[in-house]
Amino acid sequence: MSIDAIKTVAVLGAGTMGNGIAHVFARSGYKVILRDVERRFLDRGMEMIGKNLDREIKRRRLRRRRRELFLAGCSL
């Protein structure tokens, strides 16, 4: 299987490492499935991804209209 065939990645754990990894994959155009043991950990992970995207917008590394696209690329 070619690496180019990979379109979706699953990240287990939405903590410090997991939400960072999910962020990078979503920013790179992959669909991301984020999993954790409790909903509140997922919510916190998604909140962190949103904040980190906001930081990129503030630094002009990301356009605001693309923020929702990347967030929508992460499903729980």
Ligand X SMILES: NC(=O)c1ccc[n+]([C@@H]2O[C@H](COP(=O)([O-])OP(=O)(O)OC[C@H]3O[C@@H](n4cnc5c(N)ncnc54)[C@H](O)[C@@H]3O)[C@@H](O)[C@H]2O)c1
Chain residues binding ligand X by CB under 6 A are 12-18, 35-37, 41
- Please say which residue, 43 or 68, places its beta carbon nearer to ligand X: 43
Shortest Cβ 45–ligand X spacing (Å): 7
Shortest Cβ 71–ligand X spacing (Å): 18
Shortest Cβ 40–ligand X spacing (Å): 9
- Please say which residue, 35 or 67, places its beta carbon nearer to ligand X: 35
CA distance 45 to 54: 14
CA distance 22 to 68: 14
Report yes or no: 45 and 22 within 8 Å, Cβ to Cβ.
Answer: yes
Report yes or no: 11 and 21 within 8 Å, Cβ to Cβ.
Answer: yes
